[in-house]
Amino acid sequence: MKNKFVGLILLPFFLSSCSKDVYLFSSFHEPANEGLRFLYSYDGYKWTDLNRTFLKPEIGNQKVMRDPSIAQGKDGTFHLVWTSRWRDDKGFGYASSKDLIHWSPERFIPVMEHEPTTVNVWAPELFYDDQANEFVIIWASTIPGRFERGEEEEKNNHRMYYTTTKDFQTFAPTKLFLDPKFSVIDAVIIKRNASDYVLVLKDNTRPERNIKVAFGTKPTGPFTNVSKAFTEKFTEGPSVAKVGDDWLIYFDSYQAKTYDAVRTRDFKTFTDVKSYISVPEGHKHGTIFRAKKKILNGLLKGNPEGMKGL
């Protein structure tokens, strides 16, 4: 039985190592002023830091880059959004790249300017809707006095908002994405099939401060049936990777100062796999996405010319 159990544990590693793609994990280090970093993995469990930055933040009042989220479009372009300031910015940063090395000029996307009392725009997250051929961007903002609250201060009572875009030039009007009747941040959209989506989110209320899931039939929601927490308190920043038949949900256990993960197949039962993962010290959360090995080879060499012939 022991050998059979070990085989089951190692199977996802074998399946992933045979893939033509690799896993990349966008990252930043505190105090978030140096810019975009990456981890990479061949199996989705063991991560290596590229140990350099690839884009220095130049926009926003504070000129920082937190929570970098990346998604790739149909044409192969990588799109990046990030938190540009803790407070007062009413939008987020944006840039694009073909190789993750050379980036377009940075732009500030003012998605909450129509709400003058907005306190913040936190953790924008990209999702590419391949059915509609458009990107859904979700983020957390506080508008004091707008929603019911519990023990939180009025300026820490978040709800999720969203916009959509096909070209990152024009954006649909901002709308409310999620009001679960509690303060919510750090949400990630997961597609299981054409009419089955999961939202991984942080319940940011004072009694909770942990991670849960909700369910919907479209990437723009509505998302309902919020689960019980599957992490301890003081966890945030979920990032999700599909490895074989499993989903790995990574998260920052910020009070314990560790990076942990659980594994699930149905988003109802969750298995702690922190003893099987390895995340470099200093990594702060972004998103996990797949990329061709030639992209990683270019990052490793620090020169896109290194990708030729691969």
We report the CATH number of the domain holding residue 257 as: 2.115.10.20
Tens digits of residue pLDDT in 263-290: 999 999 999 999 999 999 999 999 999 9
**Residue 61: what pLDDT?**
83
Tens digits of residue pLDDT in 174-184: 999 999 999 99
Per-residue confidence band for 8, with pLDDT thresholds at 50, 70 and 90: very low
Q: Is the pLDDT of residue 112 over 60?
A: yes
Per-residue confidence band for 4, with pLDDT thresholds at 50, 70 and 90: very low
Residues 62-78, mean pLDDT to the nearest whole number: 97
Per-residue confidence band for 65, with pLDDT thresholds at 50, 70 and 90: very high
Nearest to 107 by CA among 183, 38, 168: 168
Dihedral sign of CA atoms 85, 111, 200, 23 in order: negative
Residues 219-248, mean pLDDT to the nearest whole number: 98
**Residue 133: what pLDDT?**
96
Q: Is the pLDDT of residue 7 over 60?
A: no
High-pLDDT (> 90) share of the chain, %: 88
Residues 28-37, mean pLDDT to the nearest whole number: 97
Residues 293-307, mean pLDDT to the nearest whole number: 75
What is the 3 state secondary structure string of 48-70? EECCCCCCCCCCCCCCCCEEEEE
Q: Helix-strand-coil percent breakdown of the chain, rounded to 5?
A: 10, 40, 50
* Residue 9 dihedral angles phi and psi, to the nearest 5°: -70, -40
Q: How many domains does the chain have?
A: 1
Q: Is 256 exposed, middle or buried (0-12, 13-18, 19+ CB in 10 A)?
A: exposed
Tens digits of residue pLDDT in 118-167: 999 999 999 999 999 999 999 999 999 999 998 989 999 999 999 999 99
Residues 292-304, mean pLDDT to the nearest whole number: 85
**Residue 306: what pLDDT?**
36
**Residue 255: what pLDDT?**
95
**Residue 18: what pLDDT?**
43
Return d(Cα 83, Cα 65) in angstroms, integer. Answer: 6
Tens digits of residue pLDDT in 33-47: 999 999 999 999 999
**Residue 278: what pLDDT?**
98
Q: Is the pLDDT of residue 74 over 60?
A: yes
Range of the domain at 268: 2-307
Residues 168-174, mean pLDDT to the nearest whole number: 98
Helix (H, G, I), strand (E, B) or coil at 7: helix
Helix (H, G, I), strand (E, B) or coil at 236: strand
Name the pTM for this structure.
0.91
**Residue 302: what pLDDT?**
62
**Residue 150: what pLDDT?**
87
**Residue 122: what pLDDT?**
98
What is the 3 state secondary structure string of 154-166? HHHCEEEEEEEEC
